[in-house]
Amino acid sequence: MKYSFFALCALVCSLASSGAALADQRSDAMAMLAKLRQEGIANRLPDEMRSLDSALATAEMYYQLNDQKNAERYYQLAIQKGAVIQQRLLAAIPAPETSTAPPGSLANGAPSDKARPNLPALVQTPASSVTMPVSPPQQQTLVQPEAEEPRPFSSARLVGTAGIYTVAKGDTLRLVAAKLGVSRTRLAAMNGLSHKDALKVGQLLHYNNQRIIPPHRTRDGIVINIPDRMLYLFQQGSMTFSTAVALGTPTKTDQFVWETPVGKFKIVNKAKDPTWTVPPSIQEEMRLEGKEVITSIPPGKDNPLGKYAMKTSLPGILIHSTTKPWSIYTYASHGCIRVYPERMEELFKLVKPNTAGEIIYKPVKLAVTDDGRVLLEAHVDIYKKTKGLAAEAQALIRAQKLDSRVDWEKVKRVISRKAGVAEEITRSTPETQQAVDVSRSQSPS
């Protein structure tokens, strides 16, 4: 059968990529606003903050109306306004060699990340996202990396680590973020980069992808948590494999909803070098957009399923590799679960037909480390399925009777920034600090 691969690419990319881009813009804008509010900028630059709030409120209105074009426009405007505010603030901070501010503080009086080492820095918006007048070299302000590397936590409830990645040939910031399962924006901020910076082979990138394994009842099988874009495989009660995935775009139309569904499933069959039978819904989308209707694509480099696919019992939902590895850790598919090609090859070998699985929706997760520290992890409520992240966090904390052990201001900060990594919320007391110090002194360097 003859078909136009370019027509298919246009179809898949037009909706999925634009949906992922909108989600990224929305997340960036929200993170920037949260950062500026936390630093008390509303009191220092009230007019500018009101303008930013207005732009973001308009973007949210269009987002709720599913008007993607205008939502993107106003999210970008909000990001630009926030970048201008950041530029003004940074210009007011003395250079490091001339600063007389005490350690752990900034010239404007806001606490630095050195003062709170277990709280990763907020997302910074790259200067390249907004056009600014060129300043003389001595006045230029460069994006600075985070002040301190996050320290890995110790707990059987956690996966991932805070580490260093060595850039390989062909790597881009977006591709590295996909490999590691981290936010591209956060990865850039941790390393003092902008989204447009080219990477060099051998370059070292600091990253943090420490996550809390979501609560589950699966002893043997697959668990996929939509908000943290992760797939976990359990065998005999232990987690033996985990990987970042791409999931269904939150973008909706009058005819179609491409969100990945929640629910239990089984692996119906597995296929190496699969033929993709295009679902009727995507065929209908092709027809409505006036494009050539394609019913199937044979194995090969043009097949969007890649080399490996596993069919689930959920209608139309596959777990498969992809020809777009940079899309991993985004919401970019028509509902299927995409896995980075090399990771999918590993998973394919581990999973047998009839393996059970479940897709869950847990945007907030809680855990206690081996040394008694309380950790909280928050993600964007991408499909709008909860009554609010703050309420979710409060319910988890109270269910485990941890009310007296947490610092509620830290809880607010974690919820506000939605960094997608495990962050400490323990209330500081002499006893808890002593326990932490003892644990750290006994840890290998």
Q: Sort 76 into a burial class: Cβ within 10 Å, 0-12 / 13-18 / 19+.
A: middle
pTM of the model: 0.66
Of residues 71 and 131, more confidence is placed in 71
pLDDT over 70, % of the chain: 74
Confidence label for 363 from pLDDT (cuts 50, 70 and 90): very high
Nearest to 222 by CA among 357, 354, 321, 362: 357
Q: How confident is the model at residue 146 (pLDDT cuts 50, 70, 90)?
A: very low
Q: What's the CA gap between 60 and 21, in Å, rounded?
A: 15
Q: Distances from the Cα of 41 to the Cαs of 16, 38, 44, 55, 204, in angstroms?
A: 35, 8, 5, 16, 33
pLDDT in tens, 367-401: 999 889 999 999 999 999 999 999 999 999 999 99
The answer, yes or no, to whether residue 4 has pLDDT greater than 80, is no
| Residue among 321, 440, 316 nearest 369 (CA) | 440
The pLDDT score that the predictor gives to residue 202 is: 95
Instruction: Render pLDDT for 299-338 as a digit per residue (tens, 0 to 9).
Output: 888 899 999 999 999 999 999 999 999 999 999 999 999 9
31-45, 245-259, 311-325: least confident range: 31-45
pLDDT for the residue 111? 33
pLDDT, mean of residues 118-135: 29
Q: For residue 162, give the 3-state DSSP assignment.
A: strand
Per-residue tokens: 278: 């295009």
CA 402 → CA 179, 337, 373, 374, 375, distances in Å? 34, 35, 11, 8, 11
Across residues 215-220, what is the average pLDDT?
89
Please report, for residues 277, 296, 325, 333, 404, the alpha-carbon distance to residue 299 in angstroms, rounded to integers and kept in the order given.
11, 10, 18, 19, 57
Decide if pLDDT at 46 tops 80.
no
Q: What is the pLDDT of residues 395-437, one digit of tens each?
A: 999 999 999 999 999 999 999 989 999 999 999 865 555 554 5
Per-residue pLDDT at 220: 94
Q: What is the mean pLDDT of the chain?
A: 78
Listed range (21-35, 87-101, 428-442) with the worst mean pLDDT: 87-101
Least confident of 29-38, 287-296, 303-312, 337-346: 29-38
Q: What are the residues whose beta carbons fall under 8 Å from the beta carbon of 347, sequence distance 6 or more?
A: 231, 233, 241, 243, 308, 319, 339
